[in-house]
Amino acid sequence: MAFSELSRPWRARGHSIPRGGLLLCHGFTGSPQSMRPWAEDHAARGWAVELPLLPGHATTWQDLTRYRWQDWYEHVRDAALELSDRCGPIAVGGLSMGGALTLALAQDPQLRGRISALVAVNPGMTLPAAAGFAELIAPLLRTVPGIGSNVAKEGVIEEAYERTPLRAVAQLNRLFRRTRRGLGAVEAPLLLATSSVDHTVPPTDSELVAAGVHGSVERLSLTRSYHLAPLDHDAQRLLDASARFLEEHVPHLAGAQQ
């Protein structure tokens, strides 16, 4: 896979005084390309948007094996703190593993008061039982087929690795376990968007999230999309729902356009 400029980190400062801050987190083995429609849509609505590239992504699958889940988490945590320093209370949204990172950020004691709203799209919470042995198997079987481009819309391709390294799967499994255990600490309002047909993350993972978090949950059913909803048939419906939800829950910056 040749990665384009769409896979690079992306940011928009919003208006001279932005509506507020929005941090977006992409998924495992993917890149910011899968989140660009969401980022660009909300930037056009006046939000200051940060869409970072997670360590080890959009390079080579071999590079991904060098990183731990803590590296992904600390990268988005630093971005959240910096955005909150500029914009006050922020919103965080994520897709798949990015949804797990979104929920993990909301558990962080130093961020809880800084995050006013969450949007999780097909958040990953579990992996097949065999993932528990991924680190043991990795020296013998380094990779398995990639998980990218799970899209119902014809002709849409995700910029993602064509192979998935098992060492990284072991780290993903640790992130999911850690995030599941802490769901009760999530108090920020959550918009939880779930595809009814998803070949990457089972829809039951969303049920775990809805049952586990302590804050309010609004559900959005995505009936025409597979896993990568921001690139799929339900994209505009998702973006409109996200914009409305954030408008309701994120305080306006003083002087921001109403």
Catalytic residues: 96, 198, 227
* Nearest CA among 86, 28, 85, 84 for reference residue 53: 28
Query: For residue 119, what are its two tokens?
Result: 């949007």
Q: Which residue has the tokens 């198997």?
A: 137
Q: Round to the nearest angstrom and report the end-to-end CA distance of the chain.
A: 42
Do the Cβ atoms of 38 and 65 come closer than 8 Å?
A: no
* Nearest CA among 184, 35, 22 for reference residue 97: 35
What distance separates the 2 farthest-apart alpha carbons in the chain?
59
Do the Cβ atoms of 76 and 41 come closer than 8 Å?
A: no
Residues 48, 14: Cα–Cα separation, whole Å: 4
Residues 137, 123: Cα–Cα separation, whole Å: 26
Residues 158, 227: Cα–Cα separation, whole Å: 11
